[in-house]
């Protein structure tokens, strides 16, 4: 298992070219990336609260990313293709699906087999913000139709789509994630394990850390194709932080991944401070030592 990083963690500083970004990531000691086209200057794209993936990706941009990936020996393990799959405006969902098709082609060109998705929120302004309507049949139906259509596109492209349970989204529990996979009925819909995203408000307590992971693995452990190293601080709210600064038990997480037969990579996420990345990387390496034994 390689240890990588999500390139979106570098977007809070001035954007770099693909070559500059991959050089920086390799110098920090990472071995692979979860890549977002919004992370490099070649894309000339700024994400919105509804659509985090560009509508077009030039051959020149794909070539630049491919060169950087090869030059610095940093495989692109996952590509971000997130948009609000539950948005109340059908036009937003349609545009997202059109852009997803573009990203499926880009993934094939870069030798990447996994795209990440966001099941979305009925919040019209932002896909990662909650809405009181997220638990309604209308929200489920809109999301389900969009995911089902995305699955058909992925089947034709032979690329896997990975979703995750996230407290602010329609899929906000492992049980709902299991239901989604079962009802869509496509081998191309799988899961990202992001332990920090499993906690709802009032649940981020050290005594809940292992139980929360156990519930996720019981629901979909065999369907995990990517893992994130984001953390969450103890408290009554949702306060994400860098790997090892919160309550996630990464050693236990690594053991569960091992026991479930996981063969993917780990992508650290939620760090944003480049100076803290060596510490975060060392934290995961030490916690996951049992994984490689």
Three state DSSP letters for the chain:
CCEEEEHHHHCCCCCECHHHHHHHHHHCCCCCEEECHHHEHHHCCCCCCCECCCCCCCHHHHHHHHHHHHHCCCCEEEEECCECCCCCCHHHHHHHHHHHHHHHHHHHHCCCCEEECCCCCCCCCCCCCCCCCCCCHHHHHHHHHHHHHHHHHHHHHCCEEEECCCCCCCCCCHHHHHHHHHHHCCCCEEEEEEHHHHCCCCCECHHHHHHHHHHHHHHHHHHEEEEECCEECCECCCCEECCCCCCCCHHHHHHHHHHCCCCCCEEECCCCCHHHHHHHHHHHHHHCHHHHC
Q: What is the CATH number of the domain that holds 110?
A: 3.20.20.150
Residue 12 confidence (pLDDT) above 90: no
Residues near 74 by Cβ (< 8 Å), separated by ≥ 6?
Answer: 4, 22, 25, 26, 30, 31, 32, 33, 68
Nearest CA to 181 among 195, 172, 191?
191
Range of the domain at 162: 3-292
Residue 292 confidence (pLDDT) above 50: no
Residue 59 confidence (pLDDT) above 90: yes
Number of domains in the chain: 1
Q: What is the predicted pLDDT for the residue at 13?
A: 83
pTM attached to this predicted model: 0.95
Q: What is the predicted pLDDT for the residue at 293?
A: 43
228 close to 193: Cβ distance less than 8 angstroms: yes
Residue 74 confidence (pLDDT) above 50: yes
Residue 290 confidence (pLDDT) above 70: no
């Amino acid at each position: 298992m390689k240890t990588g990083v999500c390139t979106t963690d570098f977007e809070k500083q001035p954007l770099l070219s693909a070559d500059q970004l991959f050089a920086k990531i390799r110098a920090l000691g990472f071995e692979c990336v979860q890549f977002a086209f919004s992370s490099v200057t070649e894309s000339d794209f700024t994400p919105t609260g509804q659509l985090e993936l560009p509508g077009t990706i030039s051959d020149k941009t794909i070539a630049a990313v491919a060169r950087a990936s090869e030059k610095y020996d940093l495989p692109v393990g996952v590509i971000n293709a997130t948009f609000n799959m539950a948005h109340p405006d059908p036009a937003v969902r349609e545009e997202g699906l059109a852009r997803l098709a573009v990203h499926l082609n880009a993934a094939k060109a870069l030798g990447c087999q996994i795209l990440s998705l966001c099941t979305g929120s009925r919040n019209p302004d932002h896909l990662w913000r909650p809405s009181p309507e997220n638990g309604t049949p209308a929200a489920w139906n809109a999301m389900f139709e969009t995911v089902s259509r995305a699955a058909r596109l992925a089947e034709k492209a032979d690329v896997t789509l990975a979703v995750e349970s996230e407290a602010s989204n329609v899929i906000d529990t492992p049980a709902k994630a299991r239901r989604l996979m079962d009802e869509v009925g496509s081998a191309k819909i799988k899961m990202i394990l992001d332990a920090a995203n499993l906690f709802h408000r009032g649940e981020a307590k050290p005594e809940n850390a292992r139980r929360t992971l156990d519930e996720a693995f019981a629901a979909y452990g065999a369907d995990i194709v990517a893992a994130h190293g984001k953390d969450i601080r103890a408290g009554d709210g949702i306060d994400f932080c860098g790997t090892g600064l919160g309550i996630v038990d990464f050693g236990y997480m690594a053991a569960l991944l091992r026991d479930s037969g996981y063969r993917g990579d780990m992508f650290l996420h939620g760090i944003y401070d480049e100076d803290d990345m060596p510490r975060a990387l060392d934290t995961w390496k030490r916690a996951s030592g049992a994984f490689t034994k």
